[in-house]
Amino acid sequence: MGPACPVQQGPWLSRVHRPRCTFPSMARTRSTSDRRRGLGVSASRRRGAKHLIEALRPRLRVALTTHVNADGDGSGSEVSLWYLLQQVGITASIVNPTPFPNRYRFLLEGIEQADRSKDAVKELQRADLIVVLDIADLGRLGHLGRVVADAKAPVACIDHHLSDGTLPPGPRLVDAAACATGELVYDLARVAGWDIDRQVARGIYVALLTDTGGFRFSNTSSRTLRVASDLLDRGLSAEQVYHDVYASESEGKIRMLAEVLQTLVVEPDHRLAWVTVPPGALERHGIEADELEGVVEFARSVRGVTMAILFRELANGRIKVSFRSVGDLDVAALAEQFGGGGHRRAAGASLPGTLPDVQDLVLAAARSVARP
């Protein structure tokens, strides 16, 4: 019997030998049941998953990476994919441009050696395959962007953002309809017939939980909840994951939040609210940048607000701007004006300039599109 799917040709296969494309028979027999349960994988995702699986074979060295200041989706997806690759004899390492977030470090308990971010450049240079998760643009990889661009290995991408991308050629599993990159990792595992054990399920669940705002945001679909249900059926405790992600904040995070909320400005005429991370606040309270995740949601939660913005200074002198919206307001289009991007209701950009100058520029643009 021949291979279960055709092998895609392309320049990115130059360093990855053509493997036999074999999928466990149970992956095929499960498909009808999956469709009945609302867990079937779409044709386009299935094609993308198969192309990526074709690039994988035992004894390959694979480097997994995501954007600077990784969030729950990037972190959870990386860890889950690391566990999945171990099942098929592939040596994988997590190599991020910034340290693995303290908030999600519980995902690495027992596999601390998987995080090779301190040796990221070396790991990327000797990888047989690079997999970039949760982004498609080299610019979001920080100082590793140039290393990935110059790499001889093919560069695969698993992502759910609206972007044409600037990554080098390689397999693509990309769908903006997915609630999180973690959902695509779940589909990859289903297509390949890999075992979604408790450790894999936990990383994917964290990805879904955080990118949907606790299953509250508009990207939460009925399929999102069905996938989450399937993950819980694999032995996860929803309460424990919630505690690990949301109920284990440092004292510094709470004090920093109080300081940021003191900067809240609400403009009712434009249904706009914005906050600023005061210069030096992270250092004063001894916290990492990843602990700012979710702070902008407090501004978005103000009654009547349709757009919320968070400003903060980066170590490289640029200003990071995070956009959130309510309803049909497209903040991804707004972010694109400043070289950024993201989702319709959650996007971001990084701009050069002083904090006051960037605020004036961005707020002027926001007021022009915010609903009166």
The predicted model gives 224-252 an average pLDDT of 95
Q: What is the CATH number of domain 251-369?
A: 3.10.310.30
- Give the number of other Cβ atoms within 10 Å of residue 190's Cβ: 22
**Which pLDDT band holds residue 257 (cuts at 50, 70, 90)?**
very high
More reliable by pLDDT, 268 or 327: 268
**Which pLDDT band holds residue 342 (cuts at 50, 70, 90)?**
confident
Q: Dihedral, CA atoms, 74, 123, 320, 329, nearest 10 degrees? A: -40
Predicted pLDDT of residue 114: 98
Q: What are 177-191's pLDDT values in tens digits?
A: 999 999 999 999 999
The pTM of this model reads: 0.84
Kindly state the percentage of the chain with pLDDT values over 90: 79
Predicted pLDDT of residue 134: 96
Among 189, 187, 168, smallest CA distance to 15 is for 168
* The 129-133 sheet, strands edge to edge: 91-94, 61-65, 129-133, 155-159, 172-174
d(CA 21, CA 34): 22
Domain ranges of the chain: 11-245, 251-369
Helix intervals (H) in the chain: 25-36, 43-54, 72-87, 120-125, 145-150, 181-192, 198-211, 222-232, 238-246, 251-261, 281-285, 296-300, 331-336, 355-369
Whole-number mean pLDDT of the chain?
90
Predicted pLDDT of residue 31: 59
Structure tokens at 1: 């019997």
The predicted model gives 101-126 an average pLDDT of 96
**Which pLDDT band holds residue 32 (cuts at 50, 70, 90)?**
low
Under 8 Å between Cβ of 8 and 51:
yes
Question: For residue 63, is pLDDT > 60?
Answer: yes
Q: What is the CATH number of domain 11-245?
A: 3.90.1640.10
Q: How many residues does the chain have?
A: 372
